[in-house]
Amino acid sequence: MNQITSKIAGTGSALPKTILTNKELETLVDTSDAWIQERTGIKERRIAKNQENTSDLAIAAAQKALKNANLSANDIDFIIVATFTPDSIMPNTACLVQAALHADHAVCFDLNAACSGFLFALQTAHAYICSGLARHILIIGSENISKTLNWNDRKTCILFGDGAGAVVLSISDSSKHALLDFETGSDGTRSNVLTLSGFQKSFLQMDGQEVFKFAVRKVPEIILTLTQRNHLCPEEIDWYFLHQANARILTSVAKRLSLPLDKFPSNLSSYGNTSAASIPILLDEYHNSHKLLPGQKIILSGFGGGLTWGSCLISW
């Protein structure tokens, strides 16, 4: 009898309609389109309007993921929302999603691990399914970061955007289409590198150089740990879906692993850093464009405030 594991059964994403370009940012803060593109690779980002909440984006992404998985809301056992920008501290965002979807049987909670949040939520859901406590789990990364930004601080306001991505994780009895392994971790001694001190009372603050140095060191390290443990070479991985924080980070990670950059998909130029939403948004885009083929090996990898990090090895 095959061991119970989990698989990604469906994906979805949702983005605000409002686009904020680098040229428009030039009128808000002392920066330029050329400088932003050179330093980050970002050309524009999506910004939620005042009436657009984190839960609204999460609901829209969830509906698409359910449809893609050919499941109804009543099939869902858990809803986990990864976010550091919830509508409110209480109720949690997952409960708001449940109410909108009428997912009456779902247990709902939020998870905050900043930009690593989706990977942590994915690992949590995987553990629930492997333990036999669930068959279908809705995982959503959703962020409304624009409402936490100081639009006079060019170190942060140029980087971030809003959006949501979702996956349905379902039970699987085959390792041919499954989540195979995780590598995650945290370092609370470096919590001052990326902070948001108060709920709707302070601005996001970041030491960009420290985050960059952390990411280009830690991400290749955990990827190598994951591949070696599963008797794979980095070249055998078909796609690396990294958290979309900075184009230079993607380039540096590819170089450190001696891999071609075209193994590292990116939508950073269009959306900026959407934190916990970035990986599932990118995954949904590639899934919908039929670029992900059965049997391909994929690694998802996120890193963020906490400090936190995580990677997942998938057989698609």
Virtual CA dihedral for 197, 199, 200, 206, nearest 10 degrees?
30
User: How many CA atoms does the CB half-sphere of 60 hold within 13 Å?
Assistant: 17
- What burial letters (b/e) apply to 30-63, b meaning 16+ CB within 10 Å? ebebeebeeebbbbbbbbbeeebbbbbbbbbbbb
- Residue 105 tokens read as 């049987």
DSSP 8-state code for residue 77:
S
Our CA angle for 224, 213, 207, nearest 5°, is 140
Q: Are strands 136-143 and 5-14 parallel, antiparallel or unpaired?
A: unpaired
Q: Which of 68, 136, 273, 312 is catalytic?
A: 273
Beta-bridged to residue 194, according to DSSP, are 206
313 closest CA partner among 175, 132, 142: 175
How many CA atoms lie less than 13 Å away from 7 in the CB half-sphere? 18
Task: Give catalytic status of residue 312 as yes or no.
Answer: no
Tokens 């036999």 identify what position? 132
Reference 125, options 150, 108, 103; nearest CA is: 108
Of 315, 177, 300, 311, which is closest to residue 240 (Cα–Cα)? 300
Q: Catalytic pick from 126, 136, 243, 287?
A: 243
State residue 302 phi and psi, 5-degree precision.
Answer: -125, 160
Give, in order, the Cα–Cα distances in Å from 79 to each of 41, 88, 169, 313.
Answer: 33, 17, 10, 22
β-partners of residue 307 are none
Catalytically annotated residue among 108, 115, 157, 312: 115
Catalytic residues, by residue number, are: 115, 243, 273
